[in-house]
């Protein structure tokens, strides 16, 4: 057998084992911290602000505290109340984000109405392909080559048991990391992408 091919196959197996180990190591912690799929997507929306993960988490816990203080059962319910009150734009300003986030939050509330994401802890029963397309339609999530949409979908698969959409893509960052290893997304099955993504993310932090 060709030596290069053997090495490539071994590397692929190592990447998948590493990615799955990363998920097993942290999935229970993340599920407790994030609580539900809606919050997971919201955290991704906050990370689009360009201020880094720390600011995204700070904003997430800020809005979570506001939701609890208001008596809302979930963050999604709190955001919907602000929409109905006509005060969502004020909330966005207070959180320190650009006004474009207002459209994103409205889109996520609409998405939540269709899928009850803030009430679920398992997404296996929803149509993954339809959901993937619906999330693409939310302001700020339409760029398949960007980092947010692929990362969010992979996270929902890893943490909340979403089935793998047939058109799932890897993020640009994961593709670039694979290229450095002499691999491409086509070297893996689509069902393996969430674990490839997990492995590449972990490796990128060490580079």
For the chain, helix, strand, coil in percent to 5 are: 70, 0, 30
For the segment 10-43, what is each residue's pLDDT rounded down to a tens digit? 999 999 999 999 999 989 999 999 999 999 999 9
| Model pLDDT for residues 85-128, shown as the tens digit of each residue | 999 999 999 999 988 899 999 999 999 999 999 999 999 999 99
Q: Tell me the average pLDDT across 148-155.
A: 92
Give the integer Cα–Cα distance in Å for 203 and 44. Answer: 20
For residue 1, the number of C-alpha atoms closer than 13 Å in the C-beta half-sphere is: 6
17, 78, 155, 188 from 71: Cα distances, Å:
43, 8, 28, 46
Tokens of 196: 């490839």
pLDDT at 49: 65
* Cα 191 to Cα 154: distance, rounded to the nearest angstrom: 10
The CA R_g of the chain, rounded to the nearest whole Å, is 18
pLDDT band at 3 (very low <50, low <70, confident <90, very high): very low
What pLDDT shows up at residue 203?
A: 84
> Does 207 score more than 60 pLDDT?
no
pLDDT tens across 56-90, in order?
A: 999 999 999 999 999 999 999 999 999 999 999 99
pLDDT score recorded for residue 2: 46
pLDDT digits (tens, 9 = 90+) for 37-55: 999 999 999 988 667 788 9
Rounded Cα–Cα distance for residues 19 and 192 (Å)? 9
Domain ranges of the chain: 1-35+151-207, 37-119
Rounded Cα gap, residues 190 and 154, in angstroms: 11
| Three-class SS of 85-151 | HCCHHHHHHHHCCCCHHHHHHHHHHHHHHHHCHHHCCCCCCCCHHHHHHHHHCCCCCCCCCCCHHHH
Nearest to 109 by CA among 15, 7, 160, 41: 41
Q: State CA 94 to chain mean position distance.
A: 24
Confidence of residue 145 (pLDDT cuts 50, 70, 90): low
- pLDDT number for residue 52: 75
Q: Does the pLDDT value for residue 189 go beyond 80? A: yes
Token duo for residue 204: 């990128």
Does residue 143 carry a pLDDT above 60?
A: yes
What per-residue confidence (pLDDT) applies to 11?
Answer: 94
């Amino acid at each position: 057998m060709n030596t290069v091919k053997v090495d490539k196959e071994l590397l692929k197996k190592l990447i998948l084992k590493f990615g799955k180990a990363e998920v097993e190591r942290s999935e229970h912690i993340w599920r407790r911290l994030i609580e539900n799929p809606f919050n997971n997507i919201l955290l991704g929306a906050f990370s689009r602000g360009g201020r880094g993960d720390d600011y995204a988490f700070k904003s997430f816990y800020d809005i979570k505290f506001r939701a609890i203080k208001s008596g809302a059962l979930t963050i999604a319910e709190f955001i919907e109340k602000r929409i109905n009150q006509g005060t969502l734009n004020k909330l966005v300003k207070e959180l320190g984000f650009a006004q474009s986030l207002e459209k994103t939050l409205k889109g996520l509330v609409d998405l939540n109405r269709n899928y009850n994401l803030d009430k679920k802890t398992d997404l296996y029963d929803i149509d993954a392909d339809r959901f993937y397309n619906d999330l693409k339609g939310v302001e700020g999530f339409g760029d398949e080559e960007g980092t947010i949409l692929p990362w969010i979908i992979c996270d929902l698969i890893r943490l909340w048991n979403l089935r793998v959409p047939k058109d799932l893509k890897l993020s640009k960052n994961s593709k670039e990391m694979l290229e450095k290893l002499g691999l491409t997304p086509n070297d893996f099955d689509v069902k393996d992408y969430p674990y490839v993504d997990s492995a590449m993310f972990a490796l990128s932090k060490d580079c």
